[in-house]
Amino acid sequence: MSNPKGLEGIVATESSISSIIDDKLTYVGYDIDDLAENSSFEEIIYLLWNQKLPTKSELDSFKQELADNMNVPQEIIDHLKSYDLKTVHPMAAVRTAVSMLGLYDEEADVMEEDANRRKALRLQAKIPTIVTAFARIRKGEEPVSPKNDLGFAANFLYMLKGKDPVDIEVEAFNKALVLHADHELNASTFTARVCVATLSDVYSGVTAAIGALKGPLHGGANERVMKMLTEIGDEDQAIDYIKEKLANKEKIMGMGHRVYQNGDPRAKHLREMSKQLTEITGESKWYNMSVKIEDYITSEKGLPANVDFYSASVYHSLGIDHDLFTPIFAVSRVSGWLAHILEQFANNRLIRPRAEYVGPSKQAYTPINER
Ligand SMILES: CC(=O)SCCNC(=O)CCNC(=O)[C@H](O)C(C)(C)COP(=O)(O)OP(=O)(O)OC[C@H]1O[C@@H](n2cnc3c(N)ncnc32)[C@H](O)[C@@H]1OP(=O)(O)O
Ligand SMILES: O=C([O-])CC(=O)C(=O)O
């Protein structure tokens, strides 16, 4: 039995949602560079779920449907308020609240395609409300209801900060959402597909995926990148800090990728945004430090920056708390998870690989009082 560690290189399914071929990323065949420059995040969700770009009227009504579904049940807000607000990580809060959402959805266990699509829309619309409500509650502030006339990216920033965001913030945040939306069979998407392939429900699939995204080898890296930059503090200290980490065999967060050999095509967009935004905030040191680290790791270890590396200084420049970076990843990636869940249901078979047994064999059983 062949057994590549971490399933490296194994093709586990067919998919028509996104592809990574020769270091190029496409969503439904559209190059990520074109989408990043031109699309709204709502257009991307529509594309991933329907395998086509929307017309203007399709997009308008899709945006309206999302805006109409953003409110979450008061019971969930009350539940968020009941957590230990000093210690609970927002990613754990979101994972729990998304699972709870299923309890308040009458269609949670209805398995028809139309019902699954309706649930997908409700989930996509409500996750930003959950993330921003928790962010405010733990600061002693009341959650802010979404504004029906704002787009998805603007609404997130509005609900987070309680004031209308400026255009450059909305533009940057929208682009970050577009860049994080889907990524072939990454660990959290695979988790979602494995979960629903048992014919479990959409809420279970997304809850499982959030759990997988939370880890530092996956979506949790973006928060750790900012922790590292903050620890370094001064750009002149960056290389010494990195050398020490490498000498201790520690990984540099935001660097390296299982699939890309010559660089993650999303990183250059985030790098440019980081440059622009840190100039505006007067904190170019975060960008300069990141460039130094990237150059060093790339030349010393041949490892490219991944999507999590520059997103850290982008979100920091937007005034977002560092432990919200991974929940924001989930706000975007849920669009991809849901697309994959719908695709899995459309052509389902249980996902059940094998393990190569390497434990002891032919053991003689010893009764408990003789051990
Ligand atoms: C959205 C995302 O999920 S993007 C990824 C986010 N995660 C991170 O940024 C965490 C840091 N990066 C990593 O841990 C890895 O590069 C991963 C998890 C992304 C990919 O890992 P894998 O393909 O499994 O590679 P693996 O971890 O086996 O590393 C291979 C070699 O490169 C080294 N390496 C890989 N990434 C790094 C890194 N970031 N820093 C230092 N060394 C690294 C490993 O130590 C290992 O070296 P060795 O062969 O001498 O033992
Ligand atoms: O594809 C991966 O392994 C991780 C990643 O970059 C993503 O999920 O965006």
Residue 59's pLDDT is what? Answer: 98
Ligand 1 centroid – CA 236 distance (Å): 25
| Ligand 2 in reach of 306 Cβ (< 6 A) | yes
Q: Residue 3: pLDDT above 90? A: no
Q: Which numbered ligand comes closest to the C-alpha of 340?
A: 2
Q: What is the mean pLDDT of residues 328-342?
A: 99
Out of 24, 258, 260, 337, mutate this one to test ligand 2's pocket (max ligand atoms within 8 Å of CB): namely 258
Record the tokens describing residue 86, joined without a space.
């000093």
| Ligand 2 in reach of 183 Cβ (< 6 A) | yes
- Residues 6 or more apart whose CB falls under 8 angstroms from that of 171 comprise none
- Residues 6 or more apart whose CB falls under 8 angstroms from that of 72 comprise 97, 101, 126, 129, 130, 133
Whose C-alpha lies nearest to ligand 2, atom 3?
Answer: 186
Ligand 1 centroid – CA 303 distance (Å): 8
Q: Which atom of ligand 2 is nearest to the CA of 218?
A: 4
Q: Residue 299: pLDDT above 90? A: yes
Confidence of residue 1 (pLDDT cuts 50, 70, 90): low
Q: How far apart are CA 95 and CA 127, in angstroms?
A: 10
| Ligand 2 in reach of 307 Cβ (< 6 A) | yes
Q: What is the mean pLDDT of residues 7-35?
A: 97
Residue 288's pLDDT is what? Answer: 98
Ligand 2 centroid – CA 218 distance (Å): 7
Residue 354's pLDDT is what? Answer: 95
Provide the mean pLDDT of the chain.
97
Whose C-alpha lies nearest to ligand 2, atom 1?
Answer: 186
Ligand 2 centroid – CA 315 distance (Å): 18
Strand partners, 183: 185
Confidence of residue 261 (pLDDT cuts 50, 70, 90): confident
With beta carbons less than 8 A apart as the criterion, state whether 45 and 181 touch.
Answer: yes
Out of 306, 311, 329, 332, mutate this one to test ligand 1's pocket (max ligand atoms within 8 Å of CB): namely 306
Whose C-alpha lies nearest to ligand 1, atom 24?
Answer: 258
Ligand 2 centroid – CA 186 distance (Å): 5
pTM check: above 0.90: yes
| Ligand 2 in reach of 186 Cβ (< 6 A) | yes
Q: What are phi and psi of 30, to 5 degrees?
A: -90, 130
Confidence of residue 78 (pLDDT cuts 50, 70, 90): very high
- Could you give the percent of the chain with pLDDT greater than 90? 98
| Ligand 2 in reach of 217 Cβ (< 6 A) | no
- Active site positions, annotated: 257, 308
Give the position of tokens 């690989």: 353
Q: What is the mean pLDDT of residues 296-304?
A: 95
Residue 81's pLDDT is what? Answer: 97
Q: Which numbered ligand comes closest to the C-alpha of 184?
A: 2
Ligand 1 centroid – CA 287 distance (Å): 22
Domains and CATH numbers, the chain: 16-215+322-346 (1.10.580.10), 221-317 (1.10.230.10)
Q: Which numbered ligand comes closest to the C-alpha of 186?
A: 2
Please write the tens of the pLDDT for every residue from 114-168. 999 999 999 999 999 999 999 999 999 999 999 988 999 999 999 999 999 999 9
Please write the tens of the pLDDT for every residue from 209-234. 999 999 999 999 999 999 999 999 99
102-106, 147-151, 313-317, 331-335 — which is least confidently predicted?
A: 147-151
Out of 5, 246, 255, 297, mutate this one to test ligand 1's pocket (max ligand atoms within 8 Å of CB): namely 255
Ligand 1 centroid – CA 250 distance (Å): 10
Q: Which atom of ligand 1 is nearest to the CA of 6?
A: 24
Give the position of tokens 């979450």: 72
Residue 12's pLDDT is what? Answer: 96
Whose C-alpha lies nearest to ligand 2, atom 2?
Answer: 186
| Cα angle for residues 108, 112, 113 (degrees, 5° grid) | 105
Q: Which numbered ligand comes closest to the C-alpha of 179?
A: 2
